[in-house]
Structure 1
Amino acid sequence: MKYIMFFVQVALFGAFLFASPVSIVFAQEKIGVIVTGIQADFTMWKRGALAVPGTDQAFIKKVESATLLLARNGFMIYATQDWHPADHISFTTSHPGKNPFDTVQIGDRIQTLWPPHCVQGTENAKVLLDNSIFLAIVRIGQHPQFDSYSGFQDGGTNTEMHPILQAAGIRKLIIYGLATDYCVKATAIDAASRGYKVAVIEGLSKGITSETTATALNEMRAKGITVLDKIDMTRITAM
C-alpha cells in the first residue's frame, strides 16, 4: 500500500510541476533548493514597501505549494532572507532628497536606492512560507554599508550558504523566488561560480521590470545556468 501511495504522490507531483507526469527516484542524488526573498515587503499581497509586480496571494501560494512538494519528495530546502538594519545604505532615507530607484555613487560602486524594506525584527521582514520547510534560512543585507543580493555573499564576505551546502553533499541547485533580476540572479550566478550545477525556475520567480528580468535571464544563461519555465527533472538530472 505504501508503494501505491508513493507513486500516486509522484504522479501528482509531476502533474503539478512538470510538463507531463513522470516517475522519478528522488533519492538518487542530493539536490538543494534555494528560495529567495519570499518576504512580505516584496509582495503585492502584503502591500510591501518594495512589492514586485505579480506577487499576489495566488503566486505566493503557488511557490509555497511547489516548495512543500519538493520538501516532501526528498529535496533539501533553504531560503534567503533580506535582513537590513534601519539605516541601511541602500535606503532612500539614508540619502536625503533622493527617490526610490535613483542611483548614487558609493566608493567604487553604483548603488540603486530602495524604499526602506525588510528591516530587521519587523513583520514585513519575515519569510512568508512555513519556516519549518527550510533546513536553513540565510540572512543577507545585514551590513549597513553594503547592499547584497546573493545568498552566498553579504557585505563582501561569504555567508554560511556554501559551507551548509557542501556539508550536505549538494552539487545541484534549483533556485527561484524574488526578485528574478536581483536576488535570484545574484544567488544563481554565485552558485555557478562555486561549481554548482544550477537551474532557475522562471515560473516560480518574478522580476521588478520585464526589461531587467529578460537581461538577468540572459546573463544567467551566459554563465551556464539552466533556465526553465517549470521544474523539469529530466533537464535537472541531466545537468
Structure 2
Amino acid sequence: MYGNDTALLVIDLQPDFMPGGALPCHQGDTIVPGIAALLAQRRYRTVVATQDWHPADHASFASQHPGRRPFESIPLHGHAQTLWPDHCVQGSEGAALHRQVDWRSADLILRKGSDRQVDSYSAFRENIGPQGDRPATGLAGWLHERGIAEVHVCGLARDYCVLWSAQDAAISGFRVRVLWALSRPVSPDSDEATRIALLEAGIGIDG
C-alpha cells in the first residue's frame, strides 16, 4: 500500500489503442491484466484514469485533411501535428475504458481531446492551441488539493500520452515514476528516446 500522498495515473486504456483497434499500440493488450490487478489490489488511495474522447471531426484526424494520410505531419497552430487515424470517437466502443478493468476504484475519470481544434496527449495540459498556449485540464490542482506529492504513470501510449503526462506532472511539482512494464508504445523503436526524455526530466522508471 502506497502512502496517501501517492496517486496512480492510468492513461488511455481503451480498445482503439489495442491490437485490432483504430490506432493500435505495440502489444497494448498485454498490460491490461497487470493494470487490472493493480487496481484490484487497492494499493493507491487516489487513482485517476484518462480517456481519449474526440469528436468525429477532430483536427488531428488525417480524414479531416484531404490528400493527407495517417502518421504524416502538418503544421497546426504553428507547431508540428502528427495526423492520426480516426480513433476514440466520443461514444464509440473503441473509446470506452477497457472492460476487463474494474474502474470503480478510480476517483476521477478525465476525458481529454474533446476540443476539435486541439490535440491532447497529456493528462495535465492540452497540446498547443490557437492561442499559442497549452490550456490546463485542472488535474494538477485537483491532485495538489488532495495532498498528492508523487504520481505513478502507466498505460498507453508510452511514447506519447504517457510520456507527456509524466513530463507535465514533473513540471507541475510532483515526484514522478513511470511504470514501464505497465505501458506500451505506438512503436518500440521509440523506447530509447522515451527513456532518455524521462531521465532528463528527472522522472523515475520502474521496470
TM above 0.5, one fold? yes
Q: C-alpha displacement at 1:31, in angstroms?
A: 0.6
Give RMSD over aligned pairs. 1.4
Match of 2:27 among 23, 47, 54: 54
Q: Distance in 2 between matches of 1:204 and 1:26?
A: 17
Corresponding residue for residue 102 of structure 1: 72
Which position in structure 2 is the counterpart of 1:192?
170
1:89 to 50, 55, 59: 59
Distance 1:157 1:144 in 2: 14
After superposition, residues 119-134 of structure 1 pair within 5 angstroms as: 119-128=89-98, 129-134=101-106
Q: CA deviation at 1:91?
A: 0.4
Corresponding residue for residue 9 of structure 2: 34
Distance in 1 (CA, whole Å) between partners of 2:182 and 2:44 is 19
The answer to whether residue 109 in structure 2 is matched with residue 137 in structure 1 is yes
More helix by share: 1
- The aligned counterpart of 1:7 is none
1:207 match: 185
Cα drift, residue 74 of structure 1: 4.1
Q: Which has the higher contact order (CA 8 A, sep 6+)?
A: 2
Contact 2:31/2:184, CA 8 A, preserved across alignment: no
The equivalent of 1:217 in structure 2 is 195
Cα shift at 1:213: 2.6
* Over 6 Å off, 4+ runs: none
User: What is the distance in 1 between the residues matched to 2:102 and 2:121?
Assistant: 22
Deviation, structure 1 residue 26: 3.6
Contact 1:185/1:217 (CA < 8 Å) preserved in 2? Answer: no
Residue deviations 1:135-187, cap 9 Å, x none?
00111111111111000013521112112101210010110110000000000
Identity among equivalent positions (%) equals 36
Is the CA contact (8 Å cut-off) linking 1:140 and 1:153 kept in structure 2?
Answer: no
Whether the aligned pair in 2 keeps the contact of 1:138 and 1:160 (CA below 8 Å) is: no
1:5 aligns with: none
2:38 paired with 1:66: yes
1:92–1:116 CA contact under 8 A, matched in 2: yes
**Separation of aligned partners in 1, 2:157 and 2:66:** 26
> For residue 118 of structure 1, what is the aligned residue in structure 2?
88
State the distance in 2 between where 1:214 and 1:93 align: 31
CA distance in 2, matches of 1:164, 1:199: 19
Distance across 1 between alignment mates of 2:2 and 2:170:
22
Aligned to 2:146: 168
